[in-house]
Structure 1
Amino acid sequence: MSERTDTITPLDAEAVRTQGLTKRYGEHLAVDAVSLTVRRGEVYGFLGPNGAGKTTTLRMILGLIRPTGGTATVLGRPAGTPAVNRRVGALIEGPGFYPYLSGRDNLRVLARYRRVGEDDVNRVLARVDLAGRAADAFKTYSLGMKQRLGVAAALLGDPGLLILDEPTNGLDPAGVGDMRRLLTELAAAGHTVLLSSHMLSEVQETCDRVGVINRGRLVAEATVDDLRGAGGLRVRAEPLERALAVSTRLAGDEVTVADGALHLRVDPGRAAELTRALVAADVDVHEIRPVERSLEEVFFEMTAAEEEDR
């Protein structure tokens, strides 16, 4: 008779995989057949407008609520199983702590449940820069400090997978930068991080890949660079009408006019080709430079396109 084990699948496996994950509340379809993959050792950004289904999806991945349909596998096991829960740290919908206990004592309570010692409590307090305020009551903490204590709680036990819902909420710019560095360090140390965030500039700087959800549907999943595309060119030239005609011959409908300049969504490597064509057409070129699309621009394009399709 074979012996049952709690062994997690090999390190090269996916950390999270959902297939057709669905959640319905009565007539409301909150999450609509979401299939996403989070690879081990990466920082994965989960993006979407408020009410898009991000938190509901994360709660199903953690086994906190049951899906109406589909499956979620975490670290090679069904979501919510004890073997998985011991390897996952989470911060969902803001931290909840005892208001009259100190930050350290709140973590001590959680450490007992996770079966970790005092040394680990001190480690995570230092990791989120709260050691100096660890003896103060939680109710005296600012919103940013409360958020950092929530991340510290998620780090107890040194979990292989962190699932963080808006971890930069309430942080000032310096705190956001510190959180970004922490997430990068965790990934470099072999941790996997799945985070939702509305701070797209931070996601662009921090995440390896992103998934975009809108109205409960996953509308894109790719690396940040792939989503942003190859960028384009910004051209200031006179006469503008002739420059537009030349650019349109080269780039088709990928040319727009804004603020007195041409914007071409083409490979920036075509700058020399475009310059030659403009000069040959007796166009004075005052400026031609590459531009990059931000993740924020791509995100709003995607969500706006989804709205138009419905």
Structure 2
Amino acid sequence: MSLETILSIKNLNKNYGRIQAVKDLSFDIQKGNIYGILGPNGSGKSTTLGIILNVVNKTSGSFSWFNGNTSTHQALKKVGAIIERPNFYPFMTATQNLELICRIKGVSYDKIDEKLQAVNLFERKNDKFKTYSLGMKQRLAIASALLNDPEILILDEPTNGLDPQGIHEIRQIIKSIAKNGTTILLASHLLDEVEKVCSHVIVLRKGEKLYSGRVETMVASNGIIEVKTEDDIESVVNVLKNYHETASVNIDGDLIIIQLENDISAATLNKYLFEKNIAVSHLVKRKPTLEQQFLDLTNNN
């Protein structure tokens, strides 16, 4: 079964005078996944979202929605997006604000309660918007973007400025929306967010794509091994640097961190150290975090 491509971006460029905000960017969004566009501020994430939503003009390149069978204008009726801070009327209730949006979008009111339930605001639907916390305001914005039952929901920095509880709630809501079959594309500068929420990641730096693929593939490369020893750390580091499977060795407090060239077991390294008469008190193999991979990508290019 061929996967349905919701969005395809080809060689997209955007220049602001002499600044190139997006450089030759290409990627596809397939139905049913949660994609994270990850990059530091100024990496071109918001510009890219602006282009595909027709609010920013591209300089060159192309993008097409829904296998290219739909004009952008028609396609955007099947898209829900929050790329600005939401504008709701402070003295109107959640329900009244959503009724207004239904009228603008030409959608019937009968979706309102269902969408408020989806973002855990049903109990507060008759409260004025001005009484809402920042997290609740953001959840109402998500409800408003869901009113037209979009096939894809696009979110720009959905947890920006929220407290830990608010962040957790938004992330849970995003996952539950995706479980119901809505494809999600979110931009974030938070590695933790992408690692916890997304199935796929597109890493941008200065408008260029450094990586795109499944999150677990990026995280899984060949792993790292942590070693603690009672022996002299410097001499152990030298022994490890000479080991043929070592990509790099770093010291972190009393831990020695070995990044591996190839996927070897902890036992294999333990045997090598034993043969070199090095006694270890701790030896554990770990997957590198997305953070480590991201730092490696953004530093090395």
- Could you state the TM-score of these two structures normalised by the residue count of structure 1? 0.88
Task: Please tell me whether residue 223 in structure 1 is matched to residue 214 in structure 2.
Answer: yes
- Shift, 1:139, TM fit: 3.0
Cα distance in structure 2, aligned partners of 1:303 and 1:140:
41
Cα distance in structure 1, aligned partners of 2:11 and 2:194:
25
Cα distance in structure 2, aligned partners of 1:153 and 1:296:
32
Cα distance in structure 2, aligned partners of 1:269 and 1:223:
22
Give every structure 1 segment of 4 or more consecutive aligned residues whose post-TM-superposition deviation is greater than 3 Å: 77-80
- Shift, 1:253, TM fit: 4.2
Cα distance in structure 1, aligned partners of 2:103 and 2:173:
25
Q: Which amino acid aligns with 1:291?
A: R
Which region of structure 1 is more displaced relative to structure 2, 233-242 or 122-131? 233-242
* Partner residue in 2 for 1:239: 232
* Partner residue in 2 for 1:88: 79
Residues 242-265 of structure 1, C-alpha deviation per residue, up to 9 Å, x if partnerless?
432332232344222332332111
* Partner residue in 2 for 1:208: 199
Q: Which amino acid aligns with 2:252?
A: A
Q: Which amino acid aligns with 2:291?
A: E
SS in 1 for 2:242: helix
Q: Which amino acid aligns with 1:69?
A: S
Residues 1:72 and 1:171: Cα distance change in structure 2 (over 3 Å): same
2:250 to 247, 256, 260: 256
1:178 to 159, 169, 173: 169
Alpha-carbon contact 2:38-2:190 (below 8 Å) kept? no
Cα distance in structure 2, aligned partners of 1:254 and 1:55:
35
Cα distance in structure 2, aligned partners of 1:79 and 1:200:
33
Matches within 5 A, 1:18-33: 18-33=9-24
Q: Which amino acid aligns with 1:147?
A: Q
- Shift, 1:133, TM fit: 2.4
Task: Please tell me whether residue 62 in structure 1 is matched to residue 53 in structure 2.
Answer: yes
SS in 2 for 1:46: strand
Task: Please tell me whether residue 303 in structure 1 is matched to residue 298 in structure 2.
Answer: yes
* Partner residue in 1 for 2:152: 161
Cα distance in structure 1, aligned partners of 2:127 and 2:173:
23
Q: Which amino acid aligns with 1:44?
A: Y
Cα distance in structure 2, aligned partners of 1:82 and 1:240:
63
Cα distance in structure 2, aligned partners of 1:190 and 1:203:
19
Alpha-carbon contact 1:246-1:277 (below 8 Å) kept? no
Cα distance in structure 1, aligned partners of 2:283 and 2:7:
44
Which region of structure 1 is more displaced relative to structure 2, 22-31 or 54-63? 22-31
Unaligned residue ranges in structure 2 (runs of 5+) = none
Q: Which amino acid aligns with 1:298?
A: Q
Task: Please tell me whether residue 75 in structure 1 is matched to residue 66 in structure 2.
Answer: yes
CA RMSD of aligned residues (A): 2.2
Unaligned residue ranges in structure 1 (runs of 5+) = 1-9
* Partner residue in 2 for 1:6: none
Q: Which amino acid aligns with 2:233?
A: L
Q: Which amino acid aligns with 1:290?
A: K
User: Alignment length, in residue pairs?
Assistant: 297
* Partner residue in 2 for 1:270: 265
Alpha-carbon contact 1:72-1:79 (below 8 Å) kept? no
Alpha-carbon contact 1:91-1:154 (below 8 Å) kept? yes
- Shift, 1:134, TM fit: 2.1
1:16 to 7, 11, 25: 7
- Could you state the TM-score of these two structures normalised by the residue count of structure 2? 0.90
Alpha-carbon contact 1:46-1:194 (below 8 Å) kept? yes
